[in-house]
Amino acid sequence: MGQGPSSPLAGCLNAVCNGRTGCVAYPDTPLYQVAWVNRYNLDIPVNPAAVTRPDTAEDVAGFVKCAASNNVQVQAKSGGHSYANFGVGGKDGELVIDLKNMQHFSMDTNTWQATIGAGTKLGDVTDRLHKNGKRAMAHGTCPGVGIGGHATIGGLGPSSRMWGSCLDHVMEVEVVTADGKIQRASEKENSDLFFALKGAGASYGVITEFVMKTHPEPGSVVQYSFSLTFGKHADMADVFEQWQTLIGDPDLDRRFGTEIVMHELGLIITATFYGTEDEFKATGIPDKIPKGKISVVIDDWLAVLTQQAQDAALYLSDIRSAFTARSLAFKSDELMSKDGISKMMKYLDDQDRGTLIWFLIFDASGGAIGDVPMNATAYSHRDKVMFCQGYGIGIPTLTQTTKDFMNGLIDTIQGTVPQTLTTYPGYVDPQLGAGAQQSYWGPNLDALGRIKSQWDPKDMFHNPQSVAPLTLNARQESSAASSINKRLLRIL
């Protein structure tokens, strides 16, 4: 710490900016916290040494070199919002590189691969894909999220069961690494770094652009919704069990994506089926979910995404607020029992929530996501079929009662399942503490530690839940273990 507008760090950053306005700000800049740091979760403090807004990859490289020469750690922000607040608050005195100005876009109409600037928000990605050949890709429903964070952590959305996660669309990236070099990474070039960037990107560099495969926009789309309001949550247990049974089916049609949301007044189920109404009926899904509202959208992909964004705005938006967030992930053999569902619903009815604005969201996963081997990318939740996210929002401030309610809710759900549940870093859980990395990256964590040691041994790209380099002892132990395994294989 101790960095300020007259410090060596500031002198270096200012030199990179070369007199450009809007390029860098320091804690004494007017409206620094509001206009520059711009926290999404107001309950998590973030006090960076400076916030930079590069225009080019060369700017990013210059800023990274400034940080390295002044022993300052770095976190990137891809122009949108994240309830992680630069990785669960980061550490005071870090340098933030905000990529909001990196908006370039192009489409190769031979390969239909799109090159997308890392500061582009998902809403703009959708529009630009549509205007450049009516193309599409899998991503989340919140238009204010930046592609840079989304496509490097996983990126789950309604079409992910059909097309895979957002990161599964990434074919190549341009990235600035800890040595300040501008690199390319793909399956053929710097493949170990590429593996790590696809699932744990914030720990390894600052991606400045993505090259991503795309799909033709779907034609007919069926949208489904069902809601129950003003009843006890205990009375909704059967509906939840019916929905969970449906999404737990290993043969569930991949064209179907759905989520269920519980809130103060009841329950909402939304779903999207990528096909015609007749095709939807032929799957048998309508007979396995409550009779709800069905609308059919013919060849209007933007209308579908707008509706999904509106549904998401019921519980997530661009409005800054103070909130608590928890999450869990479930494999098919970890889904809740009938008794477990009843316990969860009873908890929702009985506990003091401390707020009227809270949500418990369950998303269906699986499908195409599981086609990719677990060790092909850093993303380690390819065996999950359901995710749970809990939010408690403070009005006007977040109380300990609301935090206790949400912690108790997640503990209640965990208590209904014999196995210890993990979670996905895109649904960041600040309460995980020392177990965060294992929960997020599980079987890929050792490989990620080794790659971190090679590409960022001084842990420049850091937040409290990021991947850490392996210690020297750990590397030696790993090398010894590898040597022993090779000898055993020769013996066998």
Task: Name the band, by pLDDT with cuts 50, 70 and 90, for residue 144.
Answer: confident
Residue 487 pLDDT greater than 90, yes or no? no
In terms of residues, how long is the chain?
A: 492
Q: Does the structure show a pLDDT above 90 at 245? A: yes
Taking the mean position of all CA atoms in its chain, how far away is CA 353? 26
Cα–Cα distance, 285 to 293 (Å, whole number): 14
Averaged pLDDT for residues 295-307: 78
pLDDT at 443: 96
Between CA 54 and CA 209 the distance in angstroms is 13
With H, G, I as helix, E, B as strand and everything else as coil, classify residue 487: helix
Task: Using CB atoms within 10 Å of the CB of residue 22, give its burial: 0 to 12 exposed, 13 to 18 middle, 19+ buried.
Answer: exposed
Report the candidate in 408, 468, 466 with the shortest Cα–Cα distance to residue 440.
466
Q: How far apart are CA 336 and CA 343, in angstroms?
A: 10
Res 58 pLDDT > 70: yes
Q: pLDDT grade, residue 299 (50/70/90)? A: confident
φ, ψ at 268 (rounded to 5°) = -135, 135
DSSP sequence for 442-457: GGGHHHHHHHHHHH-T
Please give the mean pLDDT across all residues of the chain.
90
CB 375 within 8 A of CB 447: yes
Can you tell me the mean pLDDT for 459-481? 70
Residues 6 or more apart from 485 whose CB is under 8 A from it?
A: none
pLDDT at 381: 97
Give the C-alpha separation, 45 to 68, whole Å. 24
Position 306 scores a pLDDT of 78
Instruction: Look at residue 476 in the predicted model and tell me its pLDDT.
Output: 41
Residues contacting 381, CB < 8 A, separation 6+? 154, 329, 365, 369, 387, 422, 424
Answer whether residue 486 shows pLDDT above 80: no
Say what the pLDDT of residue 114 is: 98
Q: Which pLDDT score, from 0 to 100, does residue 484 have? A: 31
d(CA 469, CA 471): 6
Secondary-structure breakdown of the chain: helix, strand, coil percentages, each rounded to the nearest 5 = 40, 20, 40
What's the whole-number mean pLDDT along residues 337-353?
Answer: 97
Q: pLDDT grade, residue 226 (50/70/90)?
A: very high
pLDDT at site 313: 54
Model pLDDT, residue 91: 62
Q: Which residues contact 243 (CB under 8 A, 6 or more apart)?
A: 258, 260, 269, 289, 362
Strands 256-263, 358-364: parallel, antiparallel or unpaired by DSSP? antiparallel
Task: Please tell me the predicted confidence (pLDDT) of residue 434.
Answer: 83
pTM of the model: 0.91
Q: Which among 13, 48, 15, 59 has a CA at the least distance from the CA of 174?
A: 59
List, for residues 60-103, the tens digit of each pLDDT value: 999 999 999 999 999 999 876 654 444 444 567 899 999 999 99
Confidence of residue 312 (pLDDT cuts 50, 70, 90): low
Helix (H, G, I), strand (E, B) or coil at 215: strand
Confidence of residue 380 (pLDDT cuts 50, 70, 90): very high
Between 66-80, 227-241, 315-329, 399-413, the lowest mean confidence (pLDDT) is in 315-329
> 489 is written with which tokens?
């294989």
How do residues 399-441 score in pLDDT, each as one tens digit? 999 999 999 999 999 999 999 999 999 888 888 888 899 999 9
The confidence band for 143, taking pLDDT boundaries of 50, 70 and 90, is confident
Q: Determine the Cα–Cα distance for residues 411 and 414; give it in Å rounded to an integer.
A: 5
Give mean pLDDT, residues 442-463: 96
Tell me the mean pLDDT in the region 313-321. Answer: 64
Kind plus residue range of the DSSP H or E element containing 199: helix 191-200
CB atoms within 10 A of CB 377: 22
Helix or strand or coil: residue 231?
coil
Q: Tell me the Cα Rg of the chain.
A: 23
Q: Which domains does the chain have, with CATH numbers?
A: 8-98 (3.30.43.10), 112-216 (3.30.465.10), 220-298+321-428 (3.40.462.20), 443-491 (no CATH)
Give pLDDT, residue 489: 36
How far, in Å, CA of 336 to CA of 329, rounded? 11
Point out which residues pair with 213 in neighbouring strands: 113
Q: What amino acid occupies position 204?
A: Y
Q: In which element (H, E) is residue 17 found?
A: helix 8-17
Distance of CA 42 to the CA centre of its chain: 19
First to last CA, the chain: 55
Q: Which of 84-93, 197-206, 336-345, 382-391 has the lowest mean pLDDT?
A: 84-93
Whether residue 44 is predicted with pLDDT greater than 90 in this model: the reply is: no
pLDDT digits (tens, 9 = 90+) for 115-130: 999 999 999 999 999 9
Q: Is the pLDDT of residue 490 over 50?
A: no
138: CB partners within 8 A, 6+ apart: 155, 156, 157, 159, 160, 162, 163, 164, 165, 166, 168, 169
Residue for token pair 């996963």: 365
Cα–Cα distance for residue pair 48/67, rounded to 1 Å: 12
Q: Which of 208, 180, 204 is nearest to 194 (CA)?
A: 204
